[in-house]
Amino acid sequence: MKRGRKKTQNPATARRILAAAENHFAAQGLAGARTDEIATAARANKAMLYYYFGDKEHLHRAVLENLFRQLRTLLDDVSLSQGTPRENLLRLMDRYYDFLAGHPNYPRLVQREAIESSHAFERVFREFFQPFQEQLRHTIESGVKSGDFRRVDARHAVFSLIGMTNFYFIAAGRFGHLFGEDPLAPQALSERKRALMDLLMHGLLASKARSR
């Protein structure tokens, strides 16, 4: 067997580096995260980190792309051609909430990148996240047109929905004393989802739709 790159490839090592990098970038940002600490957390060495990802900036981009790709795959499976706008919106937000519950670093990473507004983030945002925003906007506009939803500005409604969903996970680490329990525990997540969906529907539904 030839010696070289193929022999030393280890996808498990690359996945551990990616997972460790996600945690460090979410906690410290691109500037604050250190590659030696990421490598140590991944039970790897810096040489393997650079081997798989090139440098810290490329590793950071890989973390974002990995998360956005998973979100897009999850949401692409939602068909908007069969249900009512109300059903479709609930389905989209349910999937999005479950994604955040399973990837609590995601909203923290997005918040950091939105503030810094790097070119790399703008590209990843357009390619992976913008389609989700368009799905939500189209669904809300369809509901307004059908009379199921109140007449709202769909663009601002999308920002409101994403904002109130993301913030819970962004601030979850500070909420423990308010909840008296871990905000990311299964029971707390389930209660938060019910409250979120209730507020979502009561904020959007037209009067006639509420009585159904």
pLDDT 10s digits, 180-203? 788 889 999 999 999 999 998 889
Confidence (pLDDT) at 4: 40
Residue 5 has what pLDDT? 41
Can you tell me the distance from the alpha carbon of 65 to that of 136, in angstroms, rounded to the nearest whole number?
21
User: Distance of CA 176 to CAs 75, 181, 182, 186, 190, Å?
Assistant: 30, 5, 5, 14, 16
Kindly list the structural domains of the chain, giving each domain's residue range(s) and its CATH number in brackets, ordered by start: 1-54 (1.10.10.60), 60-210 (1.10.357.10)
Kindly report the pTM of this predicted structure: 0.84
SS3 label, residue 1? coil
Q: pLDDT of 7-38, one tens digit each? A: 346 789 999 999 999 999 999 988 899 999 99
Distance (Å, rounded) from C-alpha 51 to C-alpha 14? 9
Return the minimum-mean-pLDDT range out of 24-33, 74-83, 99-108, 137-146.
74-83
Distance CA 26, CA 44 (A): 20
**Across all residues in the chain, what is the average pLDDT?**
86
